[in-house]
């Protein structure tokens, strides 16, 4: 069905920060870029500026990890000492313009901690010309006018998005209004897909699809989209379980249903993103789940599994499940999937060096004791 070729990149882990959110994209002639960013281990989701690695030989060899000045933290206008960081970022090679597009979410900090709610969130984006290798400074994506304020906290964080044949993009987002953002842990995000135009420099929203909702606290987050068989598939993170929906036009979807195996048993994924791979004429899901032997991993976010999806029943075919990236004590749940061709895709994940429980030296040691060292893994899926 497919082969898995696993490669590992060392990050020279120091013990104070670890690299997270590693994701990649590649041009047709083999120039690949990977983005990742440091996280402070003594905090929760405290991110610093984005870094990059590049490859000129289709991902066989990679440069050293280096910071990108244009993608660093910077002062946030209107905030008293606030800083804005781009996080949860995903690169994509845009075929129509020959440009890399990077989308992500804003994080707002003051004195290296989150500013108090209600915090606005923004979809941020940057571009890179492969000929120069230079990134643009990230910009805020202008959202549609909305008298109800639905886009107060709207982000394309950790989302897998899709270029259409005409060069337009389908970009999933999740969003809250200002009142809901006063208590984001107990209110529910709504998910939607935006149809966007992109000219190689500027990204603009052309249309926003219908909202998908659930009353379960925090709602639907970090949606990812795939096109397969003339239909569109959207997978959704929720605190209690992963969900999936399908639609004909990429903007409007059926009522989401919980991910299950083809025998009817729940998949076991919860409070963690999932992403898609299409290749060899089939549709696959990449995910984490309760596996019976991974209780020592935060939210059971390792290993990374891949399995074929039955697109009619919206079920994961249990007999096809394989481990794509192994568990070594660190979580892998913030990962990315990159389509290279119909014969090859990549799963990219960095070892996130925080365990369940209070943060501190003992927390880190639990990751180290199982063999993790903040390595970045590339699982090449070959069809």
| Mean pLDDT value of segment 344-362 | 95
Evaluate whether 16 touches 41 at the Cβ level (below 8 Å): yes
Evaluate whether 307 touches 265 at the Cβ level (below 8 Å): no
Who's near 14: CB < 8 A, 6+ residues apart?
A: none
Q: How many CB atoms lie within 10 A of CB 18?
A: 25
Q: Domain coordinates of the chain in residue numbers? A: 3-382
CATH classification number, 3-382, choose in 2.60.120.10, 2.70.98.20, 2.120.10.10, 2.40.440.10: 2.120.10.10
179, containing H or E segment: helix 178-181
pLDDT at 101: 98
Q: Is the pLDDT of residue 78 over 90?
A: no
Range 47-58 burial, b when 16+ CB lie within 10 A, else e: bbbbbbbbbeee
Closest CA to 192 of 166, 218, 220, 164: 220
Per-residue pLDDT band at 110 (split at 50, 70, 90): very high
pLDDT at 235: 98
- Farthest CA pair distance, the chain: 55
Q: Is the pLDDT of residue 38 over 90?
A: yes
Evaluate whether 336 touches 359 at the Cβ level (below 8 Å): no
| Mean pLDDT value of segment 361-375 | 95
Evaluate whether 170 touches 194 at the Cβ level (below 8 Å): yes
pLDDT digits (tens, 9 = 90+) for 297-348: 999 999 999 999 999 999 999 999 999 999 999 999 999 999 999 999 999 9
pLDDT digits (tens, 9 = 90+) for 183-195: 999 999 999 999 9
pLDDT digits (tens, 9 = 90+) for 111-149: 999 999 999 999 999 999 999 999 999 999 999 998 889
- Euclidean distance between CA atoms 333 and 274, whole angstroms: 8
Q: Is the pLDDT of residue 1 over 90?
A: no
- Euclidean distance between CA atoms 263 and 191, whole angstroms: 28
User: What are the Cα distances from residue 354, in Å, to 35, 145, 260?
Assistant: 20, 40, 28
CA atoms within 13 A on the CB side of 119: 20
Mean pLDDT of the chain: 97
Evaluate whether 37 touches 352 at the Cβ level (below 8 Å): no
pLDDT at 80: 87
pLDDT at 361: 87
Q: What are the DSSP E strand ranges found in 49-137?
A: 51-55, 66-67, 74-75, 82-94, 99-110, 113-114, 123-129, 134-135
Label residue 72 exposed, middle or buried (CB < 10 Å: 0-12, 13-18, 19+): middle
Evaluate whether 26 touches 54 at the Cβ level (below 8 Å): no
| Mean pLDDT value of segment 364-377 | 97
Closest CA to 139 of 77, 208, 67, 192: 77
Q: Is the pLDDT of residue 55 over 90?
A: yes
């Amino acid at each position: 069905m497919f082969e898995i070729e696993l490669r590992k990149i060392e990050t020279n882990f120091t013990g104070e920060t670890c690299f997270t959110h590693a994701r990649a994209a590649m041009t047709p002639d083999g120039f690949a870029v990977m983005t990742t960013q440091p996280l402070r281990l003594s905090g929760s989701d405290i991110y610093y500026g984005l870094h990059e690695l590049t490859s000129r030989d289709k991902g066989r060899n990679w440069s050293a990890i280096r910071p990108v000045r244009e993608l660093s933290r910077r002062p946030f206008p209107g905030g008293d000492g606030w800083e804005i960081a781009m996080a949860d970022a995903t690169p994509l090679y845009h075929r129509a313009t020959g440009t890399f597009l990077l989308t992500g979410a804003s994080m707002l900090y003051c004195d290296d901690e989150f500013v108090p709610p209600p915090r606005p969130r923004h979809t941020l984006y940057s571009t890179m010309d492969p000929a120069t290798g230079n990134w643009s400074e990230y910009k805020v994506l202008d959202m549609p006018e909305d008298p109800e304020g639905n886009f107060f906290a709207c982000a394309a964080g950790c989302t897998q998005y899709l270029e259409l044949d005409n060069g337009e993009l389908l970009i999933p987002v999740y969003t809250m209004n200002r009142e809901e953002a006063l208590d984001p842990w107990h209110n529910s995000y709504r998910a939607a897909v935006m149809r966007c135009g992109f000219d190689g420099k500027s990204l603009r929203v052309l249309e926003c699809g219908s909202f998908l909702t659930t009353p379960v606290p925090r709602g639907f987050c970090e949606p990812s989209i795939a096109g397969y068989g003339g239909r569109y598939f959207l997978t959704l993170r929720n605190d209690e379980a992963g969900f999936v929906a399908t639609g004909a036009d990429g903007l409007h979807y059926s009522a989401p249903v919980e991910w299950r195996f083809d025998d009817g048993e729940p998949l076991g994924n919860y409070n963690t993103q999932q992403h898609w791979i299409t290749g060899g004429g089939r549709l696959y899901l990449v995910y984490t789940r309760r596996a019976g032997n991974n209780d020592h991993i935060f939210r059971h976010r390792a290993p990374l599994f891949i399995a074929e999806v039955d697109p009619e029943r919206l079920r994961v075919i249990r007999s096809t499940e394989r481990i794509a990236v192994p568990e070594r004590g660190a979580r892998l749940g913030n990962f990315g999937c990159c389509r290279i061709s119909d014969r090859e895709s990549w799963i990219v994940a960095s070892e996130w060096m925080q365990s369940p429980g209070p943060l501190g030296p003992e927390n880190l040691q639990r990751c180290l004791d199982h063999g993790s060292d903040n390595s970045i893994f590339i699982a090449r899926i070959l069809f």
